[in-house]
A and B are shown apart, each in its own frame.
Chain A
């Protein structure tokens, strides 16, 4: 019995998405499982965006907060630091200050923040709401207009608020993140609703809902794998969008990124553990199929980039 390479050929492929205007970045586009060059060409590197906020990161754990000491006081300095000093290839600006439980800042204030950040950076911008469905509809409509012509990604459109957000993205020519609750069918359903409004299926990015290592990673991992397989084997146009892993906000909430070594000596160094928690979570999703990752700690990004180098 001699060995025959068991290659797979697929009928479908992931759409390639291009964002930004000054510095344009592409992601997605592959016609095989992640990095499996034996089945097809690796078209683009997965894109890692650094997360910044419209307000100072007071609620971020110490380990990641101190990585942005001195620059996180305002979003413009913070975004510039990520771009110029950390070499960020994209920035994800989360407008968390607009949440009614936070500063409840207005859509106009959010729009001004977006304009200021856009004026300061040349890499592509991802603009995210505060994950309050009602408020996001108002905020994202305003910021989509403020960012008109800059080919951003805005999000996240969810079942409860997608109509306004889709219309705003369409009117201002942005890409759009569609998020549903950790279920392949819900994800498909939302993509259908959005494309039925006339939104271009190739401008959409699917967020099947992220999770952290040890806290539901297995669910996100398998939903991502199943979506990617559906895209490849069934040529399903509502499953062929690139996948987003919004890693940082889930990881930097869990105990493992915060508990002191003095309290839990078996868990080892807090700094390394916290960075590893983010890097491990992100790398698992990347292996499952995520092409766009939003992350917080520079060292976690650095480690993931090294893994990508080895995988390319």
Chain B
């Protein structure tokens, strides 16, 4: 159970010695309760208190990483049920399933699809993060060679090795141990052997038991066998079960600090109907899956599910921003209109969309207002006449266009005079207040 500031305070020396950098022990306790500082900053706290506080401070969902290098993926550490309470931390890992029964050609195609899946969206690189190799053949030799071949073709992609057979598991894990794969996994009948492999090769272990009661008991058993890093599978496969199990796991872990369920969750959501698979991905991303195993990497599906994951995992407290620059819409000529707006991503997207819908080629100057919308940034003094004038001057746009007319958002109409004063030779035109009036506005000028 998370401790309150006052509960923590009772365990501190109460000397107000300031060695931790805080004026009082109570202030330090409050920081501890908010998990903003470590207990190690207090040099005088007792070992007993340290142990209790250390356990209480541990994230309710254990951080687990697999893969090696830059593309290793981290899961867990989530503390809340709703993104409006606190940012969801480690985005759901998308793992493409490749069966070891697939032909060389099919395997190559899938590996290629993962390797080329990366898309840049609002400044983030989004991709299929991992490959799950499924021992569908039940043949350990075949599994090992598939794993080796995939690891050679996609050396940086984190791997999940999926087999219930300890012999197959050991051979495959051994072959790629340096890549720190996730081994999936342990079940009631192979627990000791699988736990041993995970310990020997220092890889995280996926564990399976049907239902939440069984999986709770099972993670305790695996922990008893010496494996700490686990990813759990409660056997949920249908949407209803996934929603319920994932929600109850997250609740038990974060609200009840129920340690046996405090692990990242893996969901298998493969469907023959790709569109339904996309929607199952939505469910998993929105409702607490740490890994989602998918059957294909169709580009259209990737784009939609990447965007969804990005939306759900953005920080609701920090506005998404786009890069400050002058964007070209269509193929503008030197005569095309020049519009200005702020760099709040939502503002940018809406203005961009409407301006594009007008089919009138134009330039959109997007000014850095620290991610604030037009009215908010104006009120905050970040979208002012002098700043706008400076931005236009510094942008070098005067060399690219033949006219000197700037279209400003209707909400800041009152800036038009002062911008003209600060930008000699320029004419400022007041555009519409709402972006949805842009198509009519732009077309009427064309």
For residue A253, CB closer than 8 A to chain B, the reply is yes
Q: A35-B243, A312-B240 are in contact. Are A225 and B220 (CB under 8 A)?
A: no
For residue B445, CB closer than 8 A to chain A, the reply is no
Residues of chain B at interface, number, CB under 8 A: 60
Q: Which residues of B contact A279 (CB under 8 A)?
A: 275, 278-279
For residue A49, CB closer than 8 A to chain B, the reply is no
Q: Which positions 206-246 of chain A face chain B at CB distance < 8 Å?
A: 211, 213-219, 221-222, 225-226, 229
Against A, the Cβ 8 Å flags (1 = close, 0 = not) of B261-274 are 10000000000011
A266 touches which of B119, B278, B356 (Cβ 8 Å)? B119
For the complex, give the distance between the alpha carbons of A8 and B254 in Å. 14
For the complex, give the distance between the alpha carbons of A254 and B352 in Å. 9
The stretch that binds B, out of A77-85, A111-119, A187-195, A267-275, is A267-275
The stretch that binds B, out of A120-128, A134-142, A302-310, is A302-310
In the complex the two chains form, is A255's CB within 8 Å of B238's CB?
A: no
For residue B430, CB closer than 8 A to chain A, the reply is no
In the complex the two chains form, is B276's CB within 8 Å of A276's CB?
A: no
In the complex the two chains form, is B349's CB within 8 Å of A215's CB?
A: yes
Q: A213-B308, A226-B84 are in contact. Are A273 and B303 (CB under 8 A)?
A: yes
Q: A2-B216, A3-B216, A214-B310 are in contact. Are A254 and B258 (CB under 8 A)?
A: no
In the complex the two chains form, is B311's CB within 8 Å of A221's CB?
A: yes
The stretch that binds A, out of B280-288, B332-340, B397-405, is B280-288
Q: Which residues of A contact B304 (CB under 8 A)?
A: 213, 256, 273, 276-277, 280
Chain B min CB distance to A155 (Å):
17
In the complex the two chains form, is A272's CB within 8 Å of B440's CB?
A: no
Chain A min CB distance to B444 (Å):
10
Residue of B nearest to A211 (CB): B346
For residue B299, CB closer than 8 A to chain A, the reply is yes
For the complex, give the distance between the alpha carbons of A245 and B350 in Å. 18
Against A, the Cβ 8 Å flags (1 = close, 0 = not) of B77-121 are 000001110000000000000000000000000000000000101
Q: A1-B220, A280-B304 are in contact. Are A216 and B244 (CB under 8 A)?
A: no
Chain A min CB distance to B108 (Å):
19
Q: Which residues of A contact B303 (CB under 8 A)?
A: 256, 266-268, 273
Against A, the Cβ 8 Å flags (1 = close, 0 = not) of B301-336 are 111110110111010100000000000000000000
For the complex, give the distance between the alpha carbons of A33 and B353 in Å. 33
A5 touches which of B220, B248, B354 (Cβ 8 Å)? B248
For residue A263, CB closer than 8 A to chain B, the reply is no
Residue of B nearest to A35 (CB): B243
For the complex, give the distance between the alpha carbons of A28 and B378 in Å. 40
Q: A256-B303, A267-B303, A288-B286 are in contact. Are A311 and B220 (CB under 8 A)?
A: no
For residue A55, CB closer than 8 A to chain B, the reply is no
Q: Which residues of B contact A284 (CB under 8 A)?
A: 282, 286, 308, 311-312
Interface centre among B305, B308, B310 (most CB of A within 10 A): B308
B260 touches which of A3, A268, A269 (Cβ 8 Å)? A3
For the complex, give the distance between the alpha carbons of A276 and B82 in Å. 25
Chain A min CB distance to B205 (Å):
20
Q: A254-B353, A272-B298 are in contact. Are A217 and B308 (CB under 8 A)?
A: yes
Residues of chain A at interface, number, CB under 8 A: 55
For the complex, give the distance between the alpha carbons of A5 and B211 in Å. 11
For residue B433, CB closer than 8 A to chain A, the reply is no
For residue A65, CB closer than 8 A to chain B, the reply is no
Chain A min CB distance to B74 (Å):
21
For the complex, give the distance between the alpha carbons of A225 and B286 in Å. 11
In the complex the two chains form, is B239's CB within 8 Å of A307's CB?
A: yes
Q: A303-B273, A303-B275, A310-B239 are in contact. Are A267 and B299 (CB under 8 A)?
A: yes
Residue of A nearest to B352 (CB): A255
Residue of B nearest to A312 (CB): B240
For residue B49, CB closer than 8 A to chain A, the reply is no
For residue B212, CB closer than 8 A to chain A, the reply is yes
For residue B14, CB closer than 8 A to chain A, the reply is no
In the complex the two chains form, is B256's CB within 8 Å of A6's CB?
A: yes
In the complex the two chains form, is A37's CB within 8 Å of B244's CB?
A: yes
Residue of A nearest to B280 (CB): A307
Q: Which residues of B contact A269 (CB under 8 A)?
A: 298-300
For residue B386, CB closer than 8 A to chain A, the reply is no
In the complex the two chains form, is B259's CB within 8 Å of A1's CB?
A: yes
In the complex the two chains form, is B275's CB within 8 Å of A37's CB?
A: no
In the complex the two chains form, is A225's CB within 8 Å of B82's CB?
A: yes
Q: A35-B243, A101-B440 are in contact. Are A280 and B282 (CB under 8 A)?
A: yes
Q: A213-B304, A312-B240 are in contact. Are A275 and B275 (CB under 8 A)?
A: yes
Q: Which residues of B contact A37 (CB under 8 A)?
A: 240, 244
Query: Which positions in B face A, CB cutoff 8 Å?
Result: 82-84, 119, 121, 212-213, 216-217, 220, 238-240, 243-244, 247-248, 251-252, 255-256, 258-261, 273-276, 278-280, 282-283, 286-287, 298-305, 307-308, 310-312, 314, 316, 346, 349-350, 353-354, 356-357, 437, 440
A-B contact pairs, 29 of them (CB 8 A): A2-B213, A3-B261, A5-B212, A37-B240, A213-B304, A214-B310, A214-B349, A216-B346, A216-B349, A216-B350, A254-B349, A255-B353, A269-B300, A272-B298, A272-B301, A273-B299, A276-B301, A276-B304, A277-B304, A279-B279, A283-B283, A284-B311, A299-B275, A303-B275, A303-B278, A307-B280, A307-B283, A310-B238, A311-B240
